[in-house]
Amino acid sequence: MSQPVIARQLFGPGPCNPYPEATAALGLPLLGHLDPEFIARMDRVAQGLRTLWGTNNARTLPLSATGSAGMEAAFVNTVTPGDVAVIAVNGLFGERMCEVAARVGAEVIRVDHEYGTPIDAERVAAAHPNPTVIAGVHAETSTGVVSDIAALGAIKGDALLITDAVTSIGGMPVLADEWGIDIGYAGTQKCIGVAPGLAPFTISDRAFERRVKKPTSWYLDLGLLGGYTTGGSGGGRTYHHTAPVAMVASLEAGIDRILAEGLDAVTTRHQDAGKSLQDGIQEMGLELFAQEGYRLPQLTTVKVPEGVDSAKVRGYLLDRFNIEIGGGVGQYANTVWRIGLMGPNANPASVALILSSLKEAIDKA
């Protein structure tokens, strides 16, 4: 099937519609990946990412891979066979962490939570006295729930804290240093408002010193990547892989866009849009899925009303309004909708559009 002529309005769990500046930057002339201008761009991007991550970590960089590769990088560089990984699971991406950690050979201790509820740090703390790593997802895209990562930082003891910030970064505060995050990975396609394909990544000095010295992945070996991306002003860079220069230019434009607006203003814009959408959904008589008090503004989960065909409604939105929303995950595939208001989509006009079109789709589909 050919690409639609009019761009889709992406209100699903991701990718979102990019910021126009990020799309425009994809068309810039390509630079060589070791060109001094590209290296300077990479330095600027790393600095911008430090702001988004709330960190001073020297080793903060966009991995040339998706968010899942960021997850792999986190685990292959920190655990070896037999190490204990305590993983909080309250959605699909916590489940994926368990799978990744198990493949690295970790002894995985899952701390399961009901989908739709946040991570309970006390239960995580009680799971094992001395794990190598503790891991959790800040913003669970599969359920629309935000968890308190600072609470995990407070109980981590000597363990390294791995945090998934794929859906939170660029849309809500992420304070890696203050919260005690040792390794964080994210994605570009959600609130940062850039196309999918890079994994903003950060690792503390403490975690870097304790890293696995020869991980099973060559590509994701942070010891090798460090030389490529953290040398500063062009010095000390060696070839590791050919960086996706167009995507890095796009990421730079996305970060510039966010920082020009201001992180506080961006957060408020996402909060306001999410609240209006969630209020509007409830005024329509629909129920929200995520537990009250822990609802992500940028990703709203809605219970599909009894007797309504989820797929038909989503199909109607796509055919009639060119709007994509997401279905649920796993056992909730047909009983939950996921509506994203990320990056440029977090605005009152999008809220009005999605509410009116969803209402029509439910009535007519």
Interface with ligand PLP (CB under 6 A): 14, 66-68, 93, 137, 141, 164, 166-167, 187, 196
User: 3-state DSSP helix/strand/coil percent for the chain, to nearest 5?
Assistant: 40, 15, 45
Please give the full DSSP string across 103-133, using - where no structure is assigned.
Answer: HTT-EEEEEE--TTS---HHHHHHT-SS-SE
H or E element, residue 232: none
Least distance to ligand PLP, CB of residue 184, Å: 11
Name, in order, each residue with C-beta under 8 angstroms of 29's C-beta and a sequence gap of 6 or more. Answer: none
Least distance to ligand PLP, CB of residue 145, Å: 10
The CA distances from residue 353 to 13, 68, 223, 277, 300, in Å, are 17, 31, 47, 10, 15
Q: Which residues are paired to 12 by β-bridges?
A: none
Contact 13, 141 (CB under 8 A): yes
Residue number with CB closer to ligand PLP (188 or 350): 188
Least distance to ligand PLP, CB of residue 285, Å: 29
Residue number with CB closer to ligand PLP (68 or 231): 68
Least distance to ligand PLP, CB of residue 361, Å: 24
Residue number with CB closer to ligand PLP (137 or 151): 137
Least distance to ligand PLP, CB of residue 322, Å: 22
Query: Which residue minimizes CB distance to ligand PLP?
Result: 67
Residue number with CB closer to ligand PLP (93 or 294): 93
Least distance to ligand PLP, CB of residue 137, Å: 5
Q: Which amino acid is at 96?
A: R
- CA 184 remoteness from chain centre: 10
Residue number with CB closer to ligand PLP (198 or 355): 198
Residue number with CB closer to ligand PLP (57 or 188): 188
Name, in order, each residue with C-beta under 8 angstroms of 214's C-beta and a sequence gap of 6 or more. Answer: 221
Which residue's structure tokens are 């990088």?
A: 73
